[in-house]
């Protein structure tokens, strides 16, 4: 008998996941538009580079504060309540900015409030959506579900900036934030129709009996020790992410400008997104993955090698191919990681585990940006800094492969 090849869209046969996926797609698209519009908003109210930096800081700091504890509430409160509430509040925030723009009352103060609110909401949204999938998607559809989420994310990154820029330049900032508010509201409405069917979810999520806050906090952190591959991967992944983020955010724009002009930066980002989309389409057709620990770290190590290869300044077409491969590897280890944690970690702890993972990743971002910015500006040339970023990714990936628990993770 011929074995049926899974379809990347097979998870959409789950009605609840379909509502969640479409809603999350609207939410990610709206968030991408907002990210594009933020600099325009800052400049519109009379701010400059300093004010834009402050606004970004207001986005990051609340996450560092709330991610430490948000997972506890994600594991206590029904996930759909969190997701619907967060997107509803995001919509209110965007609508408020639209109203302030319409009445000419917008100022940097309101911009800072907006970014702080979005940062706070993100602290709860991302742990909730990953945890929610573990409750509504069967194991056989898990790779398909995470691949579809990756597809939505990459399409949002490609289309969102185009739509956002068009609205700001050709229509108005008011229209951009109005559409933003509508998209967030649609997401909140769609998530409302998600109906987890598992009795375990109903018993665990809607119970009025709550544990002690500190006990719940300790349970999340102690899991990192009790499950060796989990704690090790969060630590090594966060350290490797310093190289990834440093390359992606700091070095790649400089590389584009120095090699082929700043206009090449858009092509570079598009190539990475295309690679990520291709990865999602490929992995989404697989129902199970063996040797997930080895695969995860191998893809991460490969991404480091692709970064190093860019230091040799290959032809433009080859740079696009390398960046597409880099994007493929990034999406591969993200999809593998999310699928593994959703399947192998206690569902009642997944919100806490996700928030801890995000906390460490975010905590090291300012260090990464400062380090690689300082290296390329004051210490060594661009090519050598790119090599350092690639080696950082590669070495921490190889360290993971030396761990027997990770190598045997299946």
User: One digit per residue, pLDDT tens: the chain, 410 residues?
Assistant: 444 545 678 888 888 889 999 999 999 999 888 888 888 888 888 888 778 778 878 888 888 888 878 888 888 888 888 999 999 999 999 999 999 999 999 899 998 998 899 889 888 888 888 888 888 887 778 888 888 888 888 888 888 888 888 888 888 889 999 999 999 999 999 988 887 755 444 444 444 445 577 777 788 788 888 888 888 888 888 899 999 988 887 888 888 888 877 677 778 888 888 898 898 888 877 767 778 888 889 999 999 999 999 998 889 999 999 999 999 999 888 888 888 888 888 888 888 888 888 888 888 888 888 888 888 877 778 889 999 999 999 999 999 888 787 777 76
Q: Are 184 and 314 in contact (CB under 8 A)?
A: no
Last residue of one domain, picked from the residues 176, 210, 244: 210
Same domain for 163 and 224, yes or no, is: no
How far is Cα 398 from Cα 97, in angstroms, rounded to an integer?
47
Same domain for 238 and 359, yes or no, is: yes
| Residue 339 covered by a domain | yes
Instruction: Give the sign of the dihedral formed by CA 316, CA 319, CA 320, CA 321.
Output: positive
Same domain for 152 and 222, yes or no, is: no
Same domain for 242 and 152, yes or no, is: no
Same domain for 92 and 173, yes or no, is: yes
Same domain for 176 and 253, yes or no, is: no
| Residue 236 covered by a domain | yes
| Residue 272 covered by a domain | yes
CA angle 378, 380, 383 (to 5 degrees): 130
Same domain for 224 and 369, yes or no, is: yes
| Residue 315 covered by a domain | yes
Which of 87, 115, 74, 93 is CA-nearest to residue 24?
A: 87
Cα-based distances in Å from 300 to 109, 248, 408: 40, 14, 17
CA angle 164, 165, 168 (to 5 degrees): 85
How far is Cα 160 from Cα 30, in angstroms, rounded to an integer?
7
Same domain for 222 and 144, yes or no, is: no
Neighbours of 319 (CB within 10 A): 21
pTM, two decimals, is 0.79
368 token code pair:
């990464």
Same domain for 357 and 382, yes or no, is: yes
How far is Cα 217 from Cα 204, in angstroms, rounded to an integer?
17
Residue 98's pLDDT is what? 92
How far is Cα 68 from Cα 87, in angstroms, rounded to an integer?
21
Residue 1's pLDDT is what? 41
How far is Cα 84 from Cα 188, in angstroms, rounded to an integer?
4
How far is Cα 6 from Cα 9, in angstroms, rounded to an integer?
8
Last residue of one domain, picked from the residues 156, 184, 210: 210
| Residue 5 covered by a domain | no
| Residue 2 covered by a domain | no
Same domain for 308 and 262, yes or no, is: yes
Neighbours of 378 (CB within 10 A): 7
Same domain for 203 and 292, yes or no, is: no
Per the structure, the complete domain to which residue 144 belongs is given by 11-210
Q: Which helix (H) or strand (E) holds 363?
A: helix 350-363
What's the number of domains the chain is made of? 2
Neighbour-count burial for 222-246, b at 16+ CB within 10 Å, e otherwise: ebbeebebbbbbbbbbbbbbbbbbb
Which of 15, 22, 6 is CA-nearest to residue 129?
A: 22
CATH of residue 75's domain is 1.20.1250.20
| Residue 6 covered by a domain | no
Q: Are 279 and 335 in contact (CB under 8 A)?
A: yes
CA angle 52, 56, 61 (to 5 degrees): 145
Residue 37's pLDDT is what? 86
Same domain for 239 and 352, yes or no, is: yes
| Residue 97 covered by a domain | yes
Last residue of one domain, picked from the residues 155, 184, 210: 210
Cα-based distances in Å from 304 to 167, 244, 311: 37, 8, 12
249 token code pair:
């955010």
């Amino acid at each position: 008998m011929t074995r049926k090849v899974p379809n990347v869209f097979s998870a959409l046969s789950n009605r609840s996941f379909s509502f969640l996926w479409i809603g999350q797609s609207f939410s990610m698209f709206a968030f991408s538009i907002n990210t594009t519009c933020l600099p325009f908003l800052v400049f519109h109210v009379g701010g400059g580079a300093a004010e834009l930096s402050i606004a970004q800081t207001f986005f990051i700091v609340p996450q560092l504060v709330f991610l430490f504890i948000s997972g506890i509430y994600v594991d206590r409160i029904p996930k759909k309540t969190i997701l619907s509430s967060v997107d509803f509040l995001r919509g209110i925030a965007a609508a408020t900015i639209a109203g302030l723009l319409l009445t000419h009352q917008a100022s940097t103060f309101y911009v800072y409030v907006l970014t702080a609110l979005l940062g706070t909401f993100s602290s709860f949204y991302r742990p909730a959506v990953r945890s929610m999938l573990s409750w509504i998607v069967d194991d056989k559809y898990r790779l398909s579900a995470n691949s579809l989420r990756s597809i939505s994310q990459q399409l949002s990154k490609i289309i969102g900036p185009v739509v956002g820029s068009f609205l700001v330049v050709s229509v108005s900032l008011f229209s951009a934030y109005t559409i933003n508010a509508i998209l967030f509201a649609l997401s909140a409405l769609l998530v409302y129709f998600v109906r987890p069917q598992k009795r375990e979810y109903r018993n665990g999520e809607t119970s009025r009996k709550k544990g002690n806050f500190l006990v719940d906090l300790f349970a999340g952190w102690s899991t990192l020790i009790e499950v060796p591959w989990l704690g090790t991967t969060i630590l090594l992944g966060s350290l490797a992410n310093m190289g990834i983020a440093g390359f992606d955010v700091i070095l790649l724009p400089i590389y584009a400008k120095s090699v082929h002009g700043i206009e090449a930066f858009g092509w570079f980002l598009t190539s990475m997104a295309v690679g990520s989309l291709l990865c999602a389409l490929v992995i989404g057709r697989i129902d199970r993955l063996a040797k997930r620990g080895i695969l995860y770290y191998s893809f991460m190590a490969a991404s480091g090698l692709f970064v190093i290869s860019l230091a040799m300044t290959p032809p433009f077409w080859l740079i696009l191919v390398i960046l597409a491969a880099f994007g493929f590897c990034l999406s591969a280890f993200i999809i593998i990681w999310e699928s593994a944690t959703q399947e192998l970690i206690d569902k009642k702890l997944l919100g806490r585990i996700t928030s801890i993972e995000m906390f460490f990743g975010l905590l090291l971002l300012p260090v990464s940006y400062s380090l690689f910015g300082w290296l390329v500006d004051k210490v060594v040339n661009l090519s050598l800094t790119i090599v350092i970023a690639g080696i950082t990714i590669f070495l921490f990936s190889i360290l993971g492969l030396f761990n027997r628990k990770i190598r045997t993770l299946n």
